[in-house]
Structure 1
Amino acid sequence: MKIQILGPGCPKCKQLEEAAEVAAQEFGADYQIEKVSDINEIMSFGVMMTPAIAVDGEVKSVGKVLSKDEIIAFLK
């Protein structure tokens, strides 16, 4: 499972990355977290607001920091 955090590295992006790490560990998935900070690559996902999260290339949330439980729901 590939979890991508889309954002320039702002505090909210880092919060989302930390929550995703905890969620993936609790979920027990074999995962890889990738930070995507290149604006052109972020826009290629159709994302105009950050932070955003994508799971296996599919954008799940844009413009907000999700809780660990919200992220686990996307991993199921």
Structure 2
Amino acid sequence: MEIKVLGPGCARCRSTVETIEAVAEAEGVPVTVTKVEGMREIVGYGVMSTPGVVVEGRVVHTGSVPTRDQVKEWLK
């Protein structure tokens, strides 16, 4: 499963990556997490508030660090 975290590399963006990787490992779901830091690409997804999360090409979250439960739902 391909997941992109959109953001400039701030603490919330790093925390988002860590949360996604931790939940995926705990659930046994193989994921590839890519950080997208270029503002043009971020805005291209229509994301105006970071961090944003894109799962399999679809924006599923913006503006805050997702909860572990939210990440579990995306991994289903």
TM-score by length of 2: 0.93
**3-state SS of paired residue (1:54):** strand
Q: Which position in structure 2 is the counterpart of 1:15?
A: 15
Percentage identity across paired residues of the two chains: 38
**For structure 2, which runs of at least 5 residues remain unmatched after alignment?**
none
**In structure 2, C-alpha distance between the alignment counterparts of 1:16 and 1:30, rounded to whole Å:** 17
Q: C-alpha offsets along residues 30-49 of structure 1, whole Å, 9 cap, x if unaligned?
A: 21010000000001111111
**In structure 2, C-alpha distance between the alignment counterparts of 1:9 and 1:38, rounded to whole Å:** 10
**In structure 2, C-alpha distance between the alignment counterparts of 1:50 and 1:69, rounded to whole Å:** 19
Q: Which position in structure 2 is the counterpart of 1:52?
A: 52
Q: Which position in structure 1 is the counterpart of 2:74?
A: 74
**In structure 2, C-alpha distance between the alignment counterparts of 1:64 and 1:74, rounded to whole Å:** 16
Instruction: Give the aligned length.
Output: 76
**3-state SS of paired residue (2:13):** helix
TM-align CA RMSD:
0.9
Amino acid corresponding to residue 27 of structure 1 in structure 2: E
**In structure 2, C-alpha distance between the alignment counterparts of 1:23 and 1:57, rounded to whole Å:** 20
Moved over 4 A (4+): none
**For structure 1, which runs of at least 5 residues remain unmatched after alignment?**
none
TM-score by length of 1: 0.93
